[in-house]
Chains A and B, each alone.
Chain A
Amino acid sequence: MARIEVKSEITGTVWQLKAKPGDKVEGGDILIVIESMKMEIPVITEDGGTVKEILVKEKDPVAEGQVVAIIEE
């Protein structure tokens, strides 16, 4: 089973979690919304599968390129 790391494209803080472990997701789905520079920037999975882990919680700071979720295909 392929383990896919989903990264934040931008530095900011976690604003909303849109998915939780166990959720089935498809490519293009929003997992997390990051607030950055007054914008809501979605973290989108490119691949479908099952959410294995969400590695951040609301209000957590995240850095560009940080792995924020794990999907299993």
Chain B
Amino acid sequence: MDYAFQAEGLVKRFGKQTALSGLDLAAPAGTVLGVLGPNGAGKTTAIRILATLLSPDEGRAVVGGFDVVTQAHRVRRLIGLTGQYATVDEELTAFENLVMVGQLLDLRKAEARSRADELLRQFDLRESGTQRASALSGGMRRRLDLAVSLVGRPRIVFLDEPTTGLDPGRREDLWRLVRSMTAEGVTVLLTTQYLEEADALADHICVIDEGRVIADGTSADLKRIVGGQTIVVRPVDPRQADVAAEVLEQVARRRAEPVHRGVVTVPVEDDRVLPEVVRRLVDADVRLAEFSLRLPSLDEAFFALTGRAEEVRR
């Protein structure tokens, strides 16, 4: 298969800390790879290695056919990078930032200016083009940052938690932009802490933890592992939580997770088991204060995949 980028066995240590311990990632050209994981899982380190900002201690990575260590300069011609925090010059205007990067990418001044105008339009920043980046709102700065990373029409774009800290509305704007990029054949690597985001954008998802991939597949594959939805049950009498957990486990055929004081959750594939759960709870004489169905959170995904609560690591 023709991979836009491929990393094999990446290991990276910072002093005593191991950020990556044998990470494998790959994405076919024109697809979105979602890398899902909690803080400290190694997402940013992986992106920084693929974007040639860091060298791996072990393993190798190839981007666009070029080795990220020995052919870093060739790789840099193909990629665009948007970091967790905006990588723009705050004292320059949005327009000047775009023109500067255009010129650094060897566009002539006139070309750089027209490309900057084009991107300001595309990213809905035209009115703010003459404002200093420091005066832009968080969401606008994120968009500017993304625009700057697209000046050179990169074939491969790395987005490191692009929507962290954005309003939900703005998040969907950014999703639309990512989709329009892939429609043009761009390959995207996107890291996120939100299951929902990976679900919405990624063709393929890797869940990483402690520097390695612990699960990967399509969104549907992962839902089969994690459960597409989660049933949340809170008996009126907290002492009945054990009974409720037993009922949930029987129906869902998975371990139920006691969350806190009397709340029990279990992941399920779909909502067809709901009537069965209700009937059995009634039969067991469990009276309910709360009963709901929701998408699994990342915490639950981790619980399902690793068998331990994510809080342990924090």
The yes or no verdict on A and B being binding partners is no
